[in-house]
Amino acid sequence: MCGNHHKNQSYVNQIKWETGLLRIKDGIHQRVCFPGIPELNLHSALEELKEEHSDYLQQVKLYPGLDRYDLQLRFSDDAVWAIDIKDVRDPYKLAKNLQSLYSEGSLRYDESFYVISDRCIQNHPDYLEIARKAAKNLPYETHLISDKVFRTKVNNKITGLQKGGTV
């Protein structure tokens, strides 16, 4: 187990050493593998929703698969959503890195989202439109939306489930 991780975090897993396995330097590891402020803020908000609506939003998982994507949501209709949060000021720079989110094994999902921090959108009102047009590798089925719109989408999903439907 990496020495400077908090062992009680759900995203920290022990890895058995095998020949050829390499370990990256601590500074790079922290930069790559620890959730940022936007991820933690959205995670906290979704955890609160889960507590209020646990019959409908059943699981909020931070860093499933150690940063294959940022959050995984499981709903009562067995729908799984994958969320990757982005806080990149330049929509053109972001667009170069958008691609399908990993979807194998326990990381499979029904819907995927790139959630852009509201701070980026406030600074650049055309952010989402520019990023969508510039993204060459973004699959059609992956949603590119703001944090605020995503939170509304989650609430709408819960409301739909409460009414006995699927959303």
pLDDT, tens digit, 9 for 90 and up, residues 106-135:
999 999 999 999 999 998 989 999 999 999
Query: What span, in angstroms and rounded, lies between the C-alpha atoms of 64 and 39?
Result: 13
Residue identified by tokens 């150690």 is 66
Maximum Cα–Cα distance across the chain: 54
Q: What is the pLDDT of residue 8?
A: 63
Going 103 to 105 to 107 to 112, the CA torsion angle's sign is positive
**Phi and psi for 123 in degrees, rounded to 5?**
-80, -20
Name residues whose C-beta falls within 8 Å of residue 75's C-beta, 6 or more positions apart in sequence. 56, 57, 58, 81, 157, 158, 161
Q: What is the DSSP letter of 107?
A: G
Going 80 to 102 to 84 to 95, the CA torsion angle's sign is negative
Task: Kindly indicate whether the domain formed by 36-162 is annotated with CATH number 3.40.1350.
Answer: yes
pLDDT (tens digit per residue) in 66-89: 778 999 999 999 999 999 999 999
Task: Compute CA distances 82 → 14, 30, 67, whole Å.
Answer: 23, 22, 11
Query: What span, in angstroms and rounded, lies between the C-alpha atoms of 99 and 7?
Result: 31
